[in-house]
Amino acid sequence: MTAIQPKATVAVVGAGTMGQGIAQVALVAGHRVRLYDTAGGRAAEAARAIGARLDRLVEKGRLTADARDAARARLHPAARLDDLADPALVIEAILEQLDVKQKLFAELESVVPDDCLLATNTSSLSVTAVAGALRLPGRFVGLHFFNPAPLLPLVEVVRGFATDAEAAERAYATVAAWGKTPVRCADAPGFVVNRIARPFYAEAFRVHEERAADPATVDAVLRECGGFPMGPFELTDLIGQDVNEAVTRSVYESFFHDPKFRPSLAQRRLVEAGLLGRKSGRGWYDHTAGAERPRPRTEEPCEAPKALTVHGRLPRACAVLAEMIREAGIAVTEAPGPDDDGHLALPGGTELSLTQGLPATTELAGTRIHFDLALDYRTCTRIALAPSATASPSDVRAAVGLFQALGKQVSVIGDAPGLIVARTVAMLVDFAEDAVGRGVASPQDVDTAMRLGVNHPRGPLEWGRVLGAVWVGQVLRNLHFEYPDGRYAPSQPLLRRAAVEESLL
Q: Which residues are catalytic?
A: 123, 144, 156, 194
**Cα 220 to Cα 227: distance, rounded to the nearest angstrom:** 10
Number of H helices, E strands in the chain: 19, 15
DSSP 133: T
- Extended beta strands in 52-95, E state: 75-78, 89-92
Element of type H or E holding 436: helix 421-437
Cα 87 to Cα 33, 95, 101, 229, 296: the distances in Å are 9, 22, 18, 39, 53
> What is residue 145's three-state secondary structure?
strand
**Cα 494 to Cα 471: distance, rounded to the nearest angstrom:** 11
Residue 352: HSE in the Cβ half-sphere, 13 Å Cα cutoff: 26
> Which of 153, 238, 146, 243 is CA-nearest to residue 191?
146
Instruction: Determine how β-strand 343-345 pairs with β-strand 368-371.
Output: unpaired
DSSP 277: B
Contact 152, 18 (CB under 8 A): no
Cα 65 to Cα 20, 61, 337: the distances in Å are 20, 9, 69
**Cα 309 to Cα 277: distance, rounded to the nearest angstrom:** 47
**Cα 410 to Cα 399: distance, rounded to the nearest angstrom:** 9
